[in-house]
Structure 1
């Protein structure tokens, strides 16, 4: 046999290990350098450099980095809130009564169910302690309506809470909002 066909397996293996180890070390050094640079512009780190100011566009300001775990957790939280909004509306739909349309002002004619805040509070606290926050969110999305800025237990027990859309529309709306929130981020955050 000729020497051209003869290969030394150990030598080839050492070269391959050496190059893969070099690649790993290089990747680690790059990651460490980018982390050091990030710490210089992060105000809460111990290595903050006051001379280096981060620059943000209006769209980036106050938002997490795309692909980060923070962005992912925010989207998941938004999806959970949409689910809780739907659950609250389900409870109003189940325990509420049809409103007397003749006595309602024109802006509430589309209301499908009504329940007093006191009754809703009694039912919902068994499920969640975030009733007032979720109620505010459902009003913002025009799923419910009630008078006043915030409702308080005991003081506002007699305030009616109206469900403003048919339950099927609310389910569809909330499910789509939750899906949009989850799709807005990459599936594998950094």
Structure 2
């Protein structure tokens, strides 16, 4: 019984000062909150999904250079640039794979005296080789065709059905 009643909490001078250092002023909290609130209100003016009924300062008009593009310097713009860089790298990697496994042939439509050669590969052979590199071969092929780096017949290539479709490396 004597141990509980006799034990006293001894507070040193250092312990007494410690909580005072952790106290944050109400004025500082209020200023931080007000700053965040003002920034958020300004952001909401530009947010098309906001229920803010005030007139937006950023008017989106068709035909302008920035129409349909993210705000300059935004995280969305950064992500888009990173994605574009990544896809470009994959397209170049695909072209290198075609170069390495493809066979040189005379360019279709070239005259008999022409020595123009292009590298071609069948889709099935490319698919078997490229499956260990990436699982997005058809999408990358479509992107490369859009950039006029490769050419093939048809809108879409299907494994098995289009294995004999010839893919031509143009550049």
Cα RMSD between the aligned structures? 2.6
> What is the number of equivalent residue pairs in this alignment?
138
Unpaired runs of at least 5, structure 1:
1-17, 166-190
Task: Output the TM-score relative to the length of structure 1.
Answer: 0.63
Superposition pairs of residues 107-186 of structure 1, within 5 angstroms? 112-165=118-171
> Which aligned runs of 4 or more in structure 1 are off by greater than 4 angstroms?
none
Superposition pairs of residues 2-17 of structure 1, within 5 angstroms? none
Deviation at 1:51, TM superposition (A): 5.5
2:92 is the alignment partner of 1:86? yes
Deviation at 1:118, TM superposition (A): 0.8
2:49 is the alignment partner of 1:49? no
**Aligned-partner Cα distance in 1 for 2:117–2:155:** 19
Deviation at 1:153, TM superposition (A): 1.1
**Aligned-partner Cα distance in 2 for 1:78–1:141:** 13
Of structures 1 and 2, the one with the larger relative CO (CA 8 A, separation 6+) is 1
Deviation at 1:41, TM superposition (A): 4.5
Question: Are the structure 2 counterparts of residues 153 and 61 from structure 1 closer, same or farther at C-alpha, using a change threshold of 3 Å?
Answer: same
Task: Output the TM-score relative to the length of structure 2.
Answer: 0.69
> Which structure has the bigger radius of gyration?
2
**Aligned-partner Cα distance in 1 for 2:149–2:117:** 9
**3-state SS in 2 of match to 1:63:** coil
Unpaired runs of at least 5, structure 2:
1-24
